Structures are given as structure tokens and as C-alpha cells.
Structure 1
Amino acid sequence: MNRLQRYIEDLTSGSTVAKEITAIRFNSYRARVLANSDLQLRSKQLSFLNVLEMKRALESNEPLPASSQDDPVAQPVHKKQHVSSDAAPLDQQAIDSFIRDGFVLLRGAFSAAAAQKGRELIWTRLAGDGITQDSSTWVERHGIPELYTTEDDPAWGDVVTPRLKRAMDQICGKDRWEDFGLGWWIVTFPGQAQPPWGAAGKWHVDGASYQHHVDSKESGLLAIFLFSDIESGEGGTALSVGSHKWVARLLEMNEPRGMKGGAVSYQARQFRRRGVVEVNGKAGDVMLVHPFMLHARSKNLGQKGVESVRIMCNPNVQLHRRMNVNRADGDYSPVEQAIVEALEGSTEDDFNSFRRRMLRRHPTRVEERADVAAEYEAYLQEKERQPKARQQPASAFGAAGDSVAARQEARRQDVRARIGLDSSN
């Protein structure tokens, strides 16, 4: 009997070891184990770990799937998504670039005429706020809160083209994303910022309104629509190359509870950026960006007057259902594939680097890093041994009669020990 069989037998029999588990990892992905021998998988639906099927197989003495016989967890096939050559806007090289770097530019996603009509509509909207093509009315940036669809003007229907939809199918998976409107407009104006070019806003990950998970459906793609030509230094969105993989690891370390949007951005900013790319292109281009990408608004240093006014929007594209980073058939979308590769490549060195930067910047807030450190430590250990109940040190909670202050101090000492700090630091 292999370890998975023993675990399922233990689970179904109600043995204390299984009942006391509050959170376990299988191949570094979380599944939630509740009391009364109920295993409730979060809605990510770990397809290769269908416990009910395993239970039925054990009860009927049927053999487990071949891939499960020699390993406690059947390993999903990790194959990269390939695309059909029939009118596919993105070739395999572009798909691979998206997985590796976190973004890819789709040139000519919509026509120059549609872009011009969009600019006219936005200038009309800006006039309502007192901003015209007269530079004396310009500010550094101006946001437009509305979300536009064909109900507002039929011209918007010429922006979300069949070509763009096919590219989104390639990136998110066919029929996996929801329809969206054109929203989150940020217009920046030249002559308001000083060189050198760089980020003008905070580096962040989109999604301040929901709890982030490594498989969230609330944001499946960030699409940056260019309605004006944007050349180097003219305020194109700044992208942190490869940061989507850092964020995937960060979210995975904080499962199953997830993270608030502000916490994701704050902690992601602590990682060292290995490269920054400005979104440049022609009117009608769309930059397709991984939802975990760290990005920022940048300075518009254009020198061409009204032609350097940057008009663009970056609507959030939601998914119909949660992402699946454990597909048994390996049929991952490129968005999912990037996450899978990030989690497979996660090492202790990644976290040690993150820890050093956090403690150097915030040495008095060590205790606030406790959950991340403890989760990562357990994550590494679980990769080397069978799942079993995690024992929390008594010092993490304190005895029932302890005061609140005593319990807090005990927890601080425990945290320091867990992440390798001397208590005197």
C-alpha cells in the first residue's frame, strides 16, 4: 500500500492524524482538510487528486490510476499550450515569450480608424472635465472612471475585434474568459514631468478589491489598449519583466487563506526587479499582460505636443471559473503555464532573498512576516515527506492562562526562531 492509499484509508476511517490536519500540501498545492474526516478541496478542483474517486477505488478494491501507483500524488503532465496555425494571431514564439516574461504585444489588434474614433470620443469626454487640446489645460494625469461598451457608442465595438478575441483565447484558453468593457482609462500629458524617464506611480499588482489566490478567477488577463502612438519615454506603462512568477510564488506561499490586493502589491515590491520594459506601440496595438504582473504608470516625457498625449485603457478581464494549475492532461493556458513553471522553479534562495530585503527595510516588523516564513518552511518540508499533521509550537499560542502581552511576546520569539533571526537583533 503506497502513501496515498494509507492516507485515504486513514482519512475515511476517521483516524486522529487525518482529522487534526488543518492544511496540507500535495506537490506544493493546497487542499483543505476539515474535521469529521471531510476533505473539502477549494474550488480550484485539483483534477489529479480527486479524493472521492480515490476513496471509491479503495472501497471497491479497484486499482488506482497508473500514475498514482508509485507516487503519493499523481503528477500532472506539464506540456506547454500549443496553438493552431489557422489564423492564430500569436505564434509559438510569442506564446513562449508571454510565459517567460509575462507580456506580449499584439500588433494591429484593432484598426487605426477605430483608434482615431476612440481618441475623438475620449477628447470629448475630457472636455467635460475642462481638459482640451490646449496645453494650458493639461495636468500630469487624468483618470476616466467610466467603462465603455457598444451601448455607449457603436464605435467601441470596432475595438474588441475577432483578431483580439482569438489572441485572448490563445492566452487565457478558449471560452475561459468573460466579456468586458473598455474601462480604467488613464490619460497622461507631456510637459508635466522631469527626466529621467521612470515610474511615476507606485508599482502594483491589479486587484485591490478581492482576496488573491494563486488560481483566482477575478483577474485572468490585463489588456492594455493603445489609442495613440506611444514611443519611448512617452508614458507607456512600465512592466517589471518576469515579476508575474515572483507574485505566483508569493501567492502560493500564502495559500489557502490568500492575500488582500494591497498586501500582494506591497510584498511584491520587495523583490528585486531584473528589468523594466515600457509599453510602446502604435495606435491599435494591445499589450496582453499576465494578471500577476507588477507594473506602474510612467512619466510622459513626449516632445510632440498633443501627439504625445497618451490615451490608453487597461480593462481587467475576468475568467468564468478559477484557474487550474493541476491539469492532469497538461492542457494549460499560457497564463496557467507561467504559474506552473513559477511554482516548480521556486527555491529556498528565492525566499531567503525576499526575507533579507524585508528585514532590511522593516527590521521592527519581523513578526508580521511570520505567516509567510512559516508557510514557506512547511512548504519545503512537505516536498520531502508524506503529508502529516503540522505541530504548532506551544510558544506560538501560549498557555490558556497567559496574558495577551505574554502570548504576543512568545509569538515574536517563535517567529524570530522560525526565520533564522537571533532574538537579540
Structure 2
Amino acid sequence: MYTQQPFIESLNAGKMHLIFNQLIGKNKWIPCRNVGTFPVRFPSIQKPNDIGKHVDASFPGNDPNNYFEWRVNVKSKGRALLMLVLYSDVSENDAPTIIYEGSHIDVAKLLAKEGEFGLSFMQLANKLDELPNRKEVYATGKTGTVYLCHPFLVHSAQPHSGTLPKFMAQPPLLLRGELAITDSTDGYTPVEQAIRLGLD
């Protein structure tokens, strides 16, 4: 949970804030004050044990100290975006995060049936293999590349077959409230529109 100034500045440039406004809406998100968890992936011939498909959770369940009990609901309570921030060059050999293109629409459809309390991290993860197959896209790029992803996007880690360690942060962009997905009088932002595509 790095909070040093260079990390904070890297996510709070003026251009970033403009994009946040375009995707989420003005005054609907909270500027980043840390860069979240910071996984480092080392080259290895061993298969890692954390490469399952998942969607990042956004609000606590009954046990706030147990991340696997954190939850996701159809209004994405607490989370505006998933961000993948590359702090090293990442090629296809350097364990890039796998993004499942369009999977956020499938997840929205799934969560629409689960009400305000939604599903826990593990409950949702256990349902992801039932969703339609989606194209795999690798989150590659030069140092400083930032992927701004829908909060429901299914993604996974993978083994590192390169030669240099991979450094990446994956902070959430936090919401001030919750997303509007029905009965809005002001229209819908792109992130809200994407959820609506999954609603019946």
C-alpha cells in the first residue's frame, strides 16, 4: 500500500483526472492516496498458485480483515475502476495480466441477480468459469503504462517466463457514492452504460 509522493503523483496527473471525469463523472470519484497492492512477479519455472480468474472486490463483508469475504454488487459499491499500473516494462513474456475482453458485461448480468449485498470475492470467482468464453488480451506496455478497466472486468495473473522482475500496482479508483444504473435523470457515464448492457 505504497503512499510515497512519486507513486501518488503518478496517478494524479491532470490528464488522468480528465479521463476519470469522462469515465465516471465529475465529483463521483476520490483521488488516489495510495497505489494499492503492489504485486511483484519474478521469473520462475514453477507455476504460481494465484493465477485464477477473478474480479476485484470493493466493499467489506462480515469480516473486513478477510479479503476473500469482501464483496461486489451490481452498482460496484466503493469502486469506480480497476487500474493496472506498470512500473516496469512488461512484454508478453513478463507475466502480463490477462484481461478477458468484454467479460465485465457478463459479470454485470451475473451480479444483477444478487441484490445490494452482491457476492463475495470467492463466490464470484467460483462462478466465472460458467461465463461465456472471452478473448484474452495481455496488459503489456512500457513503464508508466496505465490500464483503466471496468471494475467488473475479469482478469488473472500468469507465470513469468521472461528474465526481469515485473512490477505492477493495481489500485482501485474509489467511488464517492455508487453508480447509477437505472432511473437516472442525468444520463449514464461510460462505466454505468457498460453495466446496463448486462442488465435484462
TM range (shorter): 0.7 to 0.9
Deviation at 1:254, TM superposition (A): 1.8
Is the 8 Å Cα contact of residues 246 and 271 (structure 1) preserved in structure 2? yes
- Higher relative strand content: 2
Map Cα deviations across residues 332-356 of structure 1 (whole Å, 9 max, x no partner): 111111001121xx4xxxxxxxxxx
How many matched pairs?
A: 188
Paired position in structure 1 for 2:194: 338
Gaps of 5+ in 1: 1-146, 347-425
The 5 A counterparts of 1:218-367 are 218-302=78-162, 305=163, 308-329=164-185, 331-343=187-199, 346=200
Map Cα deviations across residues 127-150 of structure 1 (whole Å, 9 max, x no partner): xxxxxxxxxxxxxxxxxxxx122x
Is the 8 Å Cα contact of residues 44 and 159 (structure 2) preserved in structure 1? no
Distance 1:170 1:296 in 2: 26
The match for 1:166 among 7, 18, 24 is 18
Deviation at 1:257, TM superposition (A): 4.8
Is the 8 Å Cα contact of residues 200 and 299 (structure 1) preserved in structure 2? no
Q: TM-score by structure 1 length?
A: 0.42
Distance 1:209 1:334 in 2: 28
Deviation at 1:262, TM superposition (A): 1.4
The 5 A counterparts of 1:12-411 are 147-149=1-3, 153-160=4-11, 161-180=13-32, 181-193=34-46, 201-207=51-57, 208-302=68-162, 305=163, 308-329=164-185, 331-343=187-199, 346=200
Is the 8 Å Cα contact of residues 223 and 288 (structure 1) preserved in structure 2? yes
Q: TM-score by structure 2 length?
A: 0.85
Deviation at 1:326, TM superposition (A): 1.4
Distance 2:113 2:135 in 1: 24
Deviation at 1:209, TM superposition (A): 4.2
Q: Which residue type is aligned with residue 280 of structure 1?
A: T
Paired position in structure 2 for 1:398: none
Q: Which residue type is aligned with residue 211 of structure 1?
A: R
Distance 1:330 1:280, change over 3 A: same
Q: Which residue type is aligned with residue 187 of structure 1?
A: V
Paired position in structure 2 for 1:55: none
Distance 1:334 1:159 in 2: 23
Deviation at 1:285, TM superposition (A): 0.9
- Aligned-residue sequence identity (percent) comes to 28
Distance 1:184 1:177, change over 3 A: same
Distance 1:200 1:291 in 2: 19
Distance 1:244 1:172 in 2: 16
Distance 2:117 2:84 in 1: 30
Distance 1:257 1:187 in 2: 32
Is the 8 Å Cα contact of residues 218 and 318 (structure 1) preserved in structure 2? yes
Is the 8 Å Cα contact of residues 226 and 282 (structure 1) preserved in structure 2? yes
Distance 1:158 1:182 in 2: 10
Deviation at 1:237, TM superposition (A): 0.6
Paired position in structure 1 for 2:63: none
Higher relative CO (CA 8 A, sep ≥ 6), structure 1 or 2? 2
Q: Which residue type is aligned with residue 76 of structure 2?
A: S
Distance 1:327 1:279, change over 3 A: same
Distance 1:267 1:191, change over 3 A: closer
- Higher relative helix content: 1
Map Cα deviations across residues 14-44 of structure 1 (whole Å, 9 max, x no partner): xxxxxxxxxxxxxxxxxxxxxxxxxxxxxxx
Deviation at 1:260, TM superposition (A): 2.0
Instruction: Give the SS at the match of 1:269.
Output: helix
